[in-house]
């Protein structure tokens, strides 16, 4: 009897199981189509959430541009909730640029980035120009790599948790390129490479850009994948009538929207449930938090407006009303684990001898646990090193652990840089620079700089970098200076002179925030005119003279910003030994100059900071020449002459004694995002002998100012008073100091 019952059960299972399997296979397949639209594509996230709530299974996903990004991430398991959180926490201003975090830059790169307002690349060949775009999309590409960890190898997109495809355009022949396999992050990056904004993605003989120009709503692609039912989410703007095209942005936006209309009507006709999102008032660049929130809400509203249509699809699909699809996500990627065991680290595109140095620089070790934050920081370090124009990575899973490979492209950039400044003393100054990385046996760089204004100058720098961050620099500079010298707030005289500098120096960055340098310097001062205003100094006689000096200097800087920093410290020290024949000065022992400064930003609250500092300069020896005398004045070091020290309440150049020491404290309050109020107090001592400095003249100064961190550089307005001048002062500046 038991045997008969068992045989009956086995027979029933054998009959019913194929039937059940057959019924599952017979249901119609559902494809979801996500259109391109830049920031407007944020609406896809909440629309997908509604489709899930309706109990609709998703068998295929096809997308273009932002639709490719959202679709690709959804296909590997990201839930709408995860996508929502990811989108909201991003700094889109930073992502949509090629900027490198300041903390990852070398000190040299920081200084360069905080001097020029405009930096324009120039190319040598048409090929180089064709690869161009305003941005390389490095930060976005790195984000895609982070979000798609576990899918860095070339794979078949049909094997993803949800089969996926995305569209790009090959501008070589204008053809549509459908990614059904490859590296997922590369496919997403190619699909959103907006022409003129991002550099194209080069693959084989193809030059790939945003797929929106050939197929912005790829319902036909979803059909070709095997979808029987199409649900489409469209975030394209409707074309504007003539009376709405009243500005250049309106016209450019209309051109983009017209371009995206290719195949649109045909693909809409393939769609069973069409979710058209109202994106009026928003553009592809609407990445503000408020815009993202609104677009997501509108995406959900548009999907819920099609709720009855979604439910009706269930019968057509062949599933019951209470059907519950297989749970989607959450994506439990390495990105969420955040730490992986790495057995091997390699660097593609660099010399083998550089690997050890790069490992040390990036603080990475083989056969150790490495966090994704460390990998991200390493990318910024590599891009901030001046040596590489791009840096990305791949992770390959092996039985022993992961293999981490950095893909680096050596930097051979050619750029024209422009700086401009307006101030109440010199009115206007212009800085022009051309810099080119040279393909020499030893990596090298040539830089030509010209300054136009009341004081004009020309400079040439040639830099050799045999080892990364270890430089040998050869420089020559000519300056014409026209300077007013003040005494106790009154103009004493005016001097004009020509200045020649030839310098050979060596610098080494021991750590990203620390730089050491030494070298040999030749200086020649050729004085032309002295125009006196004070009769008592009319007998001042200054001869033209030259100096041969040896110098050493160190700098440590951790400021988070070059101007108006919110945290960090800065320390500088320099020593120079001056001669006129390499061994002596005026037939006796050489004299020397020692300078040092320290400042630290101490945040008290998120907006308020206290900035204490101490700085000074000492001349050691005898027969100190006129051109190297200590001076104070202005708000920044070296405003008129290199040895000039800032002092609150003193706007102009005041000469001081052989020794000067100054302490300062600033109280800075940030107002809004870019506005600052600053109160500064200075106390100083100056005397002929350092060891008797406490007997010297006391200096007091105070100033109050407003500052703004503008796109043209800092805007500063300050009012001050000092006992050195015994009168009030006012100074206005717009632009980076140079």
* DSSP SS3 for 19: helix
Answer for the pair 169, 208: CB distance below 8 angstroms, yes or no.
Answer: yes
Q: In whole angstroms, what is the distance from residue 710 CA to residue 735 CA?
A: 8
Can 587 be counted among the known catalytic residues? Answer: no
User: Position of tokens 């948790």?
Assistant: 161
Chain-centre distance of CA 202, in angstroms?
A: 23
| HEC string for 559-589 | CCCCCCCCCEEEEEEEEEEEECCCCCECCEC
Dist CA 704 CA 156 (whole Å): 64
- Long-range contacts formed by 637-642: CB under 8 A, 24+ apart: 637/597, 639/737, 640/455, 640/481, 640/483, 641/483
CB atoms within 10 A of CB 366: 14
Q: Are 732 and 707 in contact (CB under 8 A)?
A: no
CA distance 274 to 223: 15
Alpha carbon 729 to its chain's center: 37
- Strand, coil or helix: 319: coil
Question: Is 210 assigned a catalytic role?
Answer: yes
What letter does residue 214 receive in the DSSP assignment? T
Burial bucket for residue 681 (CB in 10 Å: 0-12, 13-18, 19+): middle
Distance from C-alpha of 676 to C-alpha of 666, rounded to nearest angstrom: 12
- Which structure tokens are listed for 574? 């320099």
Q: Is the peptide bond before 233 cis (omega within 30 degrees of 0)?
A: no
- The string of DSSP letters for 619-643 reads EESS---GGG--EE-SSSTTSSSTT
Instruction: Exactly one of 59, 210, 423, 635 is catalytic; name it.
Output: 210
172: Cβ contacts below 8 Å, ≥ 6 apart: 205, 206, 207
Long-range contacts of 359-367 (CB under 8 A, 24+ apart): 361/385, 361/468, 361/469, 361/512, 364/404, 366/342, 367/342, 367/343, 367/401
Backbone dihedral angles phi then psi of residue 143, each to the nearest 5 degrees = -65, -45
Q: Which of 35, 59, 65, 385 is catalytic?
A: 65
Q: How many CA atoms does the CB half-sphere of 258 hold within 13 Å?
A: 8
Q: Which helix (H) or strand (E) holds 189?
A: helix 184-191
Output the six-digit token pair for 452.
Answer: 């136009």
Q: Which residues pair with 402 in a beta bridge?
A: 342, 397
Using alpha carbons, list the distances in angstroms from residue 407 to 404, 535, 541, 676: 10, 69, 62, 41
Joined together, the tokens standing for residue 289 give 């938090």
Q: Is 728 helix (H, G, I), strand (E, B) or coil?
A: strand
For residue 348 the two structure tokens come to 């593609």
| Burial classification of residue 385, based on how many CB atoms lie within 10 Å of its CB (0-12 exposed, 13-18 middle, 19 or more buried) | buried
Residues 6+ apart with CB under 8 A from 20: none
Asked whether the beta carbons of 376 and 404 are under 8 A apart, the reply is no
Strand partners, 484: 494
400 DSSP 8-state letter: T
Instruction: Give dist(CA 533, CA 492) in Å, integer.
Output: 5
Tokens of 52: 């899930």
Active site residues: 65, 210
């Amino acid at each position: 009897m038991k045997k008969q019952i068992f045989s009956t059960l086995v027979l029933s299972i054998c009959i019913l199981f194929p039937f059940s399997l057959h019924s599952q296979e017979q249901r119609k397949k559902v494809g979801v189509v996500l259109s391109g639209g830049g920031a407007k594509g944020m609406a896809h996230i909440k629309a997908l959430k509604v489709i899930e709530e309706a109990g609709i299974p998703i068998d295929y996903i096809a997308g273009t541009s932002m639709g490719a990004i959202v679709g690709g991430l959804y296909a590997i398991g990201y839930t709408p909730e995860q996508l929502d959180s990811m989108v909201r926490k991003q700094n889109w201003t930073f992502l949509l640029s090629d900027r490198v975090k300041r903390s990852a830059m070398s000190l040299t790169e920081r200084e360069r980035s905080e001097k020029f307002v405009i930096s324009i690349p120039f190319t040598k060949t048409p090929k180089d120009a064709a690869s161009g775009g305003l941005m390389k999309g490095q930060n976005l590409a790195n984000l895609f790599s982070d979000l798609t960890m576990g899918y860095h190898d070339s794979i078949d997109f049909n094997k993803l948790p949800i089969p996926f495809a995305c569209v790009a355009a090959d501008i070589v022949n204008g053809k549509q390129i459908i990614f059904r396999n490859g590296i997922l992050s590369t496919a997403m990056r190619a699909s959103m490479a907006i022409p003129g904004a991002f550099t194209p993605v080069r693959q084989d003989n193809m030059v790939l850009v945003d797929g929106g120009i050939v197929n912005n709503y790829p319902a036909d692609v979803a059909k070709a994948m095997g979808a029987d039912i199409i649900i489409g989410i469209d975030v394209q703007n409707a074309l504007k009538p003539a009376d709405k095209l009243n500005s250049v942005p309106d016209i450019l936006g209309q051109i983009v929207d017209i371009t995206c209309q290719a195949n649109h009507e045909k693909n809409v006709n393939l769609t069973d449930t069409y979710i058209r999102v109202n994106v009026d008032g928003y553009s592809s660049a609407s990445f503000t938090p408020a815009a993202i929130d609104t677009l997501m809400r509108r995406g959900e509203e548009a999907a819920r407006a099609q709720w009855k249509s979604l439910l009706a699809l269930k019968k057509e699909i062949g599933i019951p009303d209470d059907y519950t699809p297989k749970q989607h996500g959450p994506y439990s990627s390495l990105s969420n684990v955040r730490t992986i065991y790495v057995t091997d680290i390699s660097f593609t595109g660099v010399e083998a001898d550089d690997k050890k140095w790069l490992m040390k620089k990036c603080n990475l070790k083989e056969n150790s646990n490495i966090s994704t934050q460390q990998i991200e920081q390493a990318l910024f370090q590599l891009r901030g090193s001046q040596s590489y124009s791009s840096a990305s990575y791949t992770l390959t899973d092996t039985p022993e652990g992961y293999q981490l490979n950095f893909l680096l492209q050596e930097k051979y950039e050619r750029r024209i840089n422009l700086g401009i400044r307006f101030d109440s003393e010199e009115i206007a100054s212009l800085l022009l620079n051309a810099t080119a990385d040279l393909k020499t046996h030893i990596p090298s760089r040539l830089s030509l700089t010209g300054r136009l204004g009341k004081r004009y100058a020309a400079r040439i720098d040639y830099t050799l970098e045999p080892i990364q961050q270890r430089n040998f620099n050869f420089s020559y500079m000519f300056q014409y200076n026209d300077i007013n010298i003040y005494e106790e707030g009154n103009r004493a005289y005016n001097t004009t002179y020509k200045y020649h500098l030839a310098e050979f120096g060596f610098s080494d960055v021991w750590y990203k925030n620390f730089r050491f340098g030494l070298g040999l310097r030749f200086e020649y001062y050729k004085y032309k005119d002295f125009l006196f205003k004070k009769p008592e100094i009319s007998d001042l006689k200054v001869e033209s003279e030259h100096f041969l000096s040896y110098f050493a200097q160190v700098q440590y800087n951790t400021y988070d910003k070059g101007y108006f920093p919110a945290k960090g410290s800065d320390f500088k020290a320099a020593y120079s030994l001056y001669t006129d024949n390499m061994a002596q000065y005026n037939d006796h022992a050489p004299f020397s100059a020692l300078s040092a400064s320290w400042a630290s930003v101490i945040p008290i609250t998120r907006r308020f900071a206290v900035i204490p500092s101490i700085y000074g300069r000492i001349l050691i020896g005898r027969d100190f020449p006129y051109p190297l005398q200590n001076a104070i004045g202005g708000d920044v070091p070296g405003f008129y002459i290199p040895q000039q020290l800032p002092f609150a309440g003193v706007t102009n150049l005041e000469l001081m004694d052989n020794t000067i020491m100054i302490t300062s404290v600033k109280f800075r309050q940030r107002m809004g995002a870019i506005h600052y109020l600053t109160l500064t107090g200075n106390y100083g001592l100056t005397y002929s002998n350092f060891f008797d400095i406490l007997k010297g003249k006391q200096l007091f100064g105070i100033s109050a100012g407003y500052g703004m961190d503008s796109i043209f550089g800092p805007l500063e307005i300050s009012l001050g008073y000092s006992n050195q001048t015994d009168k009030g002062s006012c100074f206005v500046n717009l632009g980076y100091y140079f």
